[in-house]
A and B are shown apart, each in its own frame.
Chain A
Amino acid sequence: AQSVAQPEDQVNVAEGNPLTVKCTYSVSGNPYLFWYVQYPNRGLQFLLKYITGDNLVKGSYGFEAEFNKSQTSFHLKKPSALVSDSALYFCAVRALNDMRFGAGTRLTVKP
């Protein structure tokens, strides 16, 4: 079965520092991986996806994610964090008829 895991419930970084939000996956076949962000009292917003090709995927708001097949990981990264990046981040894997989400990681960026 397709699944993803987010090992960290909470990530804290200082504004201006690089951030990483971790995700590992377990899939049968080729992985199709996604990152979504949820701001308070809002729905899920699509950030980026990995389908095939380059292992470094660029997405919205300056985020990027690195696909690593040997480590079965798809970590979300940003070179310089902003306070406004504080939100709940979900990694997801696409199955044929639905999308399976990780438990979420709460990112807090402090000024």
Chain B
Amino acid sequence: EPEVTQTPSHQVTQMGQEVILRCVPISNHLYFYWYRQILGQKVEFLVSFYNNEISEKSEIFDDQFSVERPDGSNFTLKIRSTKLEDSAMYFCASSPTGGKFTEAFFGQGTRLTVV
């Protein structure tokens, strides 16, 4: 069964450093998303991406964050200068369409720890 894959599973970084979280969405999906979850709490929407551009972003997704689809398979989230409060589980998701009745498929997540 096709699945969303994320690497690495765990990333430890020093405050102020840049990190790139990587995702390979399901191959025939067109819509991509990043969510984050702080320590088993609510899953928060960060950004959605379609047709090589951001379609929506939340207030969390400030200038420190960026997303990119550098090739036909990868979808990345970059945090330019990490802060302690960026420590969270980051989930990538994809869906075949962007319609309201389409579920998103989630990866296993990358646990980011900022020290």
Contact = CB atoms under 8 A, between A and B. Distances in A.
A90 B45 CA distance: 14
Interface residues of A, number: 24
Interface stretch (A17-25, A69-77, A78-86, A92-100): A92-100
Interface residues of B, number: 27
Given A32-B100, A97-B98, A98-B48, A44 B42 contact: no
Contacts, number: 61
A42 B42 contact: no
A111 interface: no
A28 B42 CA distance: 22
B43 A101 contact: yes
A96 B45 CA distance: 13
A101 B4 CA distance: 19
A51 B100 CA distance: 9
Contacts of A98: 33, 45, 48, 56, 58
Most B C-beta atoms less than 10 A away, residue of A30, A32, A34, A98: A98
Interface of A: 30, 32, 34, 36, 42-46, 49, 51, 88, 90, 94-104
Given A44-B91, A51-B101, A99-B45, 10 more contacts: A32-B101, A49-B103, A94-B100, A96-B100, A97-B50, A97-B55, A97-B98, A98-B56, A101-B45, A104-B40
